Amino acid sequence: MTIKKLVLIAAAALLTASPALAADDMLTIGFTVSRTGKLNNDSIAQMRGFELWRDELNDQGGIKVGGKQYKVNFVSYDDESVNARVQQLYTRIINQDKAQFLFSPYSSGLVATAAIVSEQYGRIMLTTGAAEEKTYKLGNKNLFQVYSPADLYLAGAIEAVKELNPKSQVALVYKDDPFSKAVLQSARKQVSEAGLTTVLDEAYSPETTDFGPAINKIISAKADVLLGGGHYPDGATLARQLYDHKARLKWVTLLVAPDSPNFATLGEAAISISVPSQWEPQVSFKPDFGPTAAEFTQRFQAKYGIEPGYHAAGGYAAGLLLQRAIEQAGSPEQAKVAGVLNSMDVTTMFGRTKFSTNPKEHGLQMGHEMVIAQWQRKGGNVVKEVIWPKAAKSSDVVY
Amino acid sequence: MGLALQMTGVIASIIDGVLVGAVYGLAAMGLTLIWGVMNVINLTHGAMIMLGMFALYFLTSALGLPPYGAVPVTITAGFVFGVLVYWIAVHRVIGRAHLMSLLSTFAMNMVLIGISTALFSTSPYNVPVPLPGVTWREYTFTGTHIMAAMLALLLAGLLYLLLYRTRIGKAIRAVADNRDAAELNGIPTTQVLSFAFGLGVALACVSGTLIATLFPFTVLSGGAYELKSFVVTVLGGLGNPAGALIGGVALGLIEGVTASFMPLNWTPIIEFVLFVVALILFPRGIFAFARA
C-alpha cells in the first residue's frame, strides 16, 4: 500500500469520526466541568445532576418533539476551574462539536466567561451554579438562570438572626471573589435595614490558608454572628478553625461550603454551621412535571451513593427545564425554545422557575426561593436540616 | 476595654503567626537546603508538601496511626522518595543551566500533581486532631498549632545537628562549598547530593504533614506553601537553612500583624511587596547574618 493511499484512508477515517456528523435524532448539549482545580467538589456534583437527567431521559426514549424523539448526547470537557480554558472550550463545543444547547460551567466567575462565548454565537445556555447577577445585566439574550440570584443568599439568615436576637453584632468576613462580593454587597444593606450592627466587614484573599488572624479580629470585634465564606476549600478551613479557636459565635452562615455532603467530614466543627441553600432533599414542592425532591434524592443516591446537595439538584433541574422548553416549542430551534423559556413559569423538584424578560436583566431568576440548612447532631450523626423559612423547616434552629 | 481587647487580639494574632510561621520555616528549609547544596530550585516542593499532607490522611485513616506517629514515617518515606526523584529527574541536570533543572522539576511536579488528582481528585480532606489548646482571655491557641511549632523547631534542631555534628553533614557542607574539591578529597559527591535532595524532600513532606494537622487540604494545597517557601527563602537568604527558619517565623509574624492592622485581603499583597523589596535591597537575605 502506498503512502498516498494510507493518507487517504487516514483522512477518511478522521472525517467519519467527526462529531459534526451526529445522528439527526440526537440533540447535543455541551458544557465544561471543573473535574480538577479548586471548584471540582461542587462542579462534579452539578455534572452528576446533568448526567442523571440525561440517563433517565434516554432510558425513556428521549425528548418528545411532535412525533419524534430526540436522545440527548453530552459533549463536556474539564475546564480545570480556569477561565481561559472555559473560553477555549465553549468555542470548541459550539464550533467543532456543534452543540445545539449549552449548560453552564460551575461558579459565577466561569459562567461570566462562558456567557461571552454563548452570546457571541447566540446559543441558549441554562446557567446553574451561577448566582451573581452582573452577568444577566449586560444585555444578554440567551442566558437563563436556574439559581436564585446572589442578592437573596443571605437574606434568610439575616431575617432569622433578627428574629433570634435583634441586637446581634454581625461580622461579615468573605472571600474576595465575584460571587461572594456580590452576595455580601446585598447582605451589607440587608443587615443595616434589619437594624443589626455590623462590627466587622472584610474580604479575605482567595489564597488564604490560615484564618487565625481573621478569627482573632472577629473575636476582638465582639461579634456574635458571622456571615460570609466563599467556596468549599476556604469555607471548610474557616469552619474548622472557628471550632479550633473556640470563637464562641452564636450563629455562623457560610456560603456554599456547608452545603456539600463532604462538610460532614469536619465532624464537631460542622455542628451549628448554616448555609443558604438553593435546594435541600427535604423540600416539598409539588412539581408540575418530573420527579419530586424525594424521588430525585432516592434516584441520585442509588446512582452515586451519596445524598445530593443543591449543586446536583440544580444540574438536574436545568436538564428538566430545557427538556420542557424543547417539548413545548415543538422543535429544537433556538428561537422557539428561547420563546418558551421566556414565558415559562413552572414548578419542578427544585422549586418555582420564572425567568426575567426585562431587557435590562434578561434571564435573571425571579421565581425560585432559597432555604437555610444547618448541620446538627442527631442521634450521634452529623446531619443537615432545613431551619428556615419556618414553613419549610425540618428541624428547629440551633442557636 | 474595647481597645484592650483589640490589643490582646493583636498579640494573639502575632503568637498565632509565629506558631504557624515555624512550620513555614520548616517547609522552606527543605527548599533552601537543596538550593544551597546543588543550586537547584526544586519546583516539586509544593507537590512534596501535598504528599506529606496525604501521607497523614492515609496513615491515620487507613493504618490507624496517631497523627503525630505519622511524622517519623513521613520523614523516612519522604527521604526515600526524594532520593528516587533525584535519580529520575535531577541528577542529569545538575551543573547545567538553571532552566534545565527548573523545567525538569516542574515537569516532575506536574506528574505528581496529575497522578494525585487522578487518585484523590481535588476534593478536600480533613484530619481532625483532638489536642487541647491554651485559652488566654477570649483567644485560644490551638493545641495543633503549638505542637506543630514545637515539632518544627525540634526537626530544625535535628537538621542542625545532622549538618554540623555528623560526617555526612560535613560532607554535605563540603559539597555545597566546592563540589570539585570535595570530590578530590574522596567524598562520593553524587551520593551526597542524592542524600541532600532526599533530606530536602523529607523536610517538605513532614512540613506538609504538620500543616495537615492544622487545616483541611486538597491536592492543590501544596502550591500556596511553595509560594510562601519562596518568600521565606528570600527573606532568609537562598541556601541558608537557619535563615529559612527565622524567615518563616518572620513571615508568620508579618501575616499576623498585617491582618490585625489592615484589611485581610491585603496580607498577600504585603507579603509579595516584601518579597520584591527583600530581593532588591537584601539579595543575600534579610537574615543573612544567620548564615553559618
Q: In terms of CA atoms, which chain B residue is nearest residue A204?
A: B265
User: How much is the pLDDT for A8?
Assistant: 53
> pLDDT class for A38, splitting at 50, 70, 90?
confident
- Same domain as A130, residue A167: no
* Distance of alpha carbon A375 from alpha carbon B128, whole angstroms: 17
* Distance of alpha carbon B214 from alpha carbon A217, whole angstroms: 19
Q: Examine the pLDDT at A47 and tell me if it is beyond 60.
A: yes
Q: Examine the pLDDT at A319 and tell me if it is beyond 90.
A: yes
**Would B95 be classed as within a structural domain?**
yes
Nearest chain A Cα distance for residue B3, angstroms: 9
Interchain CB distance below 8 Å, B220 and A203:
no
A232 touches chain B (CB under 8 A): yes
* Distance of alpha carbon A266 from alpha carbon A382, whole angstroms: 9
Q: In terms of CA atoms, which chain A residue is nearest residue B114?
A: A36
Q: What is the DSSP letter of B96?
A: S
**Would A340 be classed as within a structural domain?**
yes
A332 touches chain B (CB under 8 A): no
User: How much is the pLDDT for B242?
Assistant: 85
- Same domain as A294, residue A258: no
Rounded to an integer, the average pLDDT of B24-46 is 94
Average pLDDT, chain A: 90
Least confident of A8-22, A367-381, B129-143: A8-22
User: How much is the pLDDT for B60?
Assistant: 95
User: How much is the pLDDT for A180?
Assistant: 93
**Would B9 be classed as within a structural domain?**
no
| DSSP H or E run through B139 | strand B139-141
Q: Which of A41, A219, A262 sits opposite B138 (nearest CB)?
A: A219
Interchain CB distance below 8 Å, A213 and B123:
no
**Would B266 be classed as within a structural domain?**
no
The pLDDT tens digits for A234-284 are: 999 999 999 999 988 999 999 989 988 889 989 899 999 999 999 999 887
**Would A399 be classed as within a structural domain?**
no
A93-102 exposure pattern, b = at least 16 Cβ within 10 A, e = fewer: bbeebebbbb
Q: Examine the pLDDT at A21 and tell me if it is beyond 60.
A: no
Q: In terms of CA atoms, which chain A residue is nearest residue B252?
A: A210
User: How much is the pLDDT for A66?
Assistant: 80
* Distance of alpha carbon A173 from alpha carbon A356, whole angstroms: 31
Query: What is the domain extent for residue B173?
Result: 19-123+134-220
Residues of chain A with C-beta less than 8 angstroms from the C-beta of B2: 222
Interchain CB distance below 8 Å, B13 and A213:
yes
> pLDDT class for A15, splitting at 50, 70, 90?
very low
User: How much is the pLDDT for B290?
Assistant: 56
Compute the Cα dihedral for B128, B132, B137, B141 and give only its sign: negative
- What's the total number of domains in chain A? 2
* Residue from A33, A41, A82, A209 whose CB has the most chain B CBs within 10 Å, to mutate: A209
- Same domain as A254, residue A139: no
Nearest chain A Cα distance for residue B70, angstroms: 20
Q: Which of A35, A232, A241 sits opposite B124 (nearest CB)?
A: A232
- Same domain as A30, residue A128: yes
Q: What share of chain B is helix, strand, coil (3-state, %, to 5)?
A: 75, 5, 20
| DSSP H or E run through B135 | strand B134-136
A176 touches chain B (CB under 8 A): yes
Instruction: Please check whether residue A204 is in contact with residue A217, taking contact to mean a CB–CB distance below 8 angstroms.
Output: no
- Same domain as A142, residue A38: yes
Q: Which of B9, B135, B214 sits opposite A217 (nearest CB)?
A: B9
Interchain CB distance below 8 Å, A213 and B16:
yes
Three state DSSP letters for chain A: CCHHHHHHHHHHHHHHHCCCCCCCCEEEEEEEECCCCCCHHHHHHHHHHHHHHHHHHHHCCCEEECCEEEEEEEEEEECCCCHHHHHHHHHHHHHCCCCCEEECCCCHHHHHHHHHHHHHCCCCEEECCCCCCHHHHCCCCCEEECCCCHHHCCHHHHHHHHHHCCCCEEEEEEECCHHHHHHHHHHHHHHHHCCCEEEEEEEECCCCCCCHHHHHHHHHCCCCEEEEECCHHHHHHHHHHHHHCCCCCCEEEEECHHHCHHHHHHHHHHCCEEEEECCCCCCCCCCCCCCCHHHHHHHHHHHHCCCCCHHHHHHHHHHHHHHHHHHHHCCCCHHHHHHHHHHCEEEECCEEEEECCCHHHCCCECCCCCEEEEEEEECCEEEEEEEECHHHCCCCCCC
**Would B233 be classed as within a structural domain?**
no
Rounded to an integer, the average pLDDT of B263-279 is 89
**Would B68 be classed as within a structural domain?**
yes
- Same domain as A131, residue A26: yes
| DSSP H or E run through B170 | helix B167-177
- Same domain as A131, residue A11: yes
- Same domain as A189, residue A118: no
Nearest chain A Cα distance for residue B26, angstroms: 16
Interchain CB distance below 8 Å, A207 and B12:
no
- Same domain as A256, residue A326: no
- Same domain as A133, residue A72: yes
Instruction: Please check whether residue B180 is in contact with residue B88, taking contact to mean a CB–CB distance below 8 angstroms.
Output: no
Query: CB pairs below 8 Å between A and B: how many?
Result: 120
Interchain CB distance below 8 Å, A204 and B265:
yes
Q: Which of B121, B225, B265 sits opposite A40 (nearest CB)?
A: B121
Nearest chain B Cα distance for residue A207, angstroms: 7
Residues of chain B with C-beta less than 8 angstroms from the C-beta of A214: 259, 264
- Same domain as A233, residue A379: yes
Query: What is the domain extent for residue A266?
Result: 152-277+371-392
Average pLDDT, chain B: 91
Grid cell 509579595 — which residue? B272
Rounded to an integer, the average pLDDT of A1-20 is 51
**Would B4 be classed as within a structural domain?**
no
Listed residue (A248, A271, A297) closest to A376, CA to CA = A271
Interchain CB distance below 8 Å, A205 and B224:
no
Q: Examine the pLDDT at B149 and tell me if it is beyond 50.
A: yes
Interchain CB distance below 8 Å, A222 and B263:
no
Q: Examine the pLDDT at B292 and tell me if it is beyond 80.
A: no
The pLDDT tens digits for A116-144 are: 999 999 999 999 988 888 899 999 999 99
A205 touches chain B (CB under 8 A): yes
- Same domain as A356, residue A306: yes
The pTM for the full model equals 0.82
> pLDDT class for A7, splitting at 50, 70, 90?
low
Q: What is the CATH number of the domain that holds A376?
A: 3.40.50.2300
Query: In DSSP terms, which residues pair with A352 in a beta bridge?
Result: A347
Rounded to an integer, the average pLDDT of B28-37 is 93
User: How much is the pLDDT for B7?
Assistant: 83
**Would B77 be classed as within a structural domain?**
yes
The pLDDT tens digits for B48-73 are: 999 999 999 999 998 899 999 999 99
Q: Examine the pLDDT at A2 and tell me if it is beyond 60.
A: no
**Would A228 be classed as within a structural domain?**
yes
User: How much is the pLDDT for A150?
Assistant: 87
| DSSP H or E run through B134 | strand B134-136
The pLDDT tens digits for A301-311 are: 999 998 898 99
Rounded to an integer, the average pLDDT of A9-23 is 48
- What's the total number of domains in chain B? 1
**Would B11 be classed as within a structural domain?**
no
Least confident of A84-93, A100-109, A217-226, A387-396: A387-396
